[in-house]
Amino acid sequence: MKAIYILWLRQIKRYLRSRSRLIGSLGQPILFLVALGFGFGPIYKRAGGGNYINFLAPGIIAQGVLFTAIFSGIELIWDRQFGFLKETLVAPVSRFEIMLGKTLGGATIAAMQGIIIFFLSLLVGFRPANIIMLPLAFLFMFVVALFFTGVGTAIASTLEDFHGFQMIMNFLVMPLFFLSGALFPLNDLPKLIDTLSRLNPLTYGVDGLRASLVGISHFGFAVDMAVLSILSLAILSIGSYLFSKIQI
């Protein structure tokens, strides 16, 4: 447990020291909130949907968590190329603890990113429906972060260079985001898009955030949390297996 705590703390300290990375990762969510929120807001309102920024903000928060969490795998490749990972792996600690500590650290950073985006969204007009539900929203942020950090770590465990990771992530991240219902309601979708959305793990994170922040849910709290929890346990198991196969 001590090793997990040390690795978790190390991940957070490393991220907080990189101010340029912290600030840069907020650029895209703010752009989406402002450009899409105010650009499509009048159209959404005339269509009877109400306040589009209130609908959009939970999806953009989930996007910020997704990007930060899944790209945390790059740090694993970085450590591997420059020898830092070798120093960690030769320590008298199980690889599962190392992987878990790194994953929890990445998930905590991604959840913090989501909380920052939440507060920034308040500046552009987003208003949560019930402040009492905020702890549940933060919990959803962390579970989403945990799952996608696990995905990033699992993929990075099988790669040795940055280029392969970037190609896989670009192929994976954008479809996950656009098919999650972050930008549009999930009601009355074409059958193919509806099926893809239901198979998308991020969909349940967006739905859980939207339910806890604005009171709109397509699947319900229980389904969202159950799906994310089961998938998180599964990806941690897969990630720990792949991590244990890393050669040093």
The 10s digit of each residue's pLDDT in 3-30 is 565 665 666 666 655 655 566 667 788 8
Domain boundaries along the sequence of the chain: 2-244
Burial of 212 (0-12, 13-18, 19+ CB in 10 A): buried
pLDDT tens, residue by residue, 185-204: 888 888 998 899 999 999 99
Judge if pTM exceeds 0.95: no
**Nearest residue to 176 (alpha-carbon basis) of 152, 156, 210:** 152
Q: Is the sign of the CA dihedral 240, 244, 245, 248 positive or negative?
A: positive
Amino acid type, 151: V
Cβ neighbours for 136, distance < 8 A, ≥ 6 positions apart: 212, 221
Report the mean per-residue pLDDT for the chain: 82
Residue bearing the bigger pLDDT, 34 or 87 = 34
- pLDDT tens for residues 204-244? 999 999 999 998 888 888 999 999 999 999 998 888 888 77
Does 142 score more than 90 pLDDT?
yes
Reported as a single tens digit per residue, the pLDDT across 177-186 is: 999 988 888 8
Percent of residues, the chain, with pLDDT higher than 90:
27
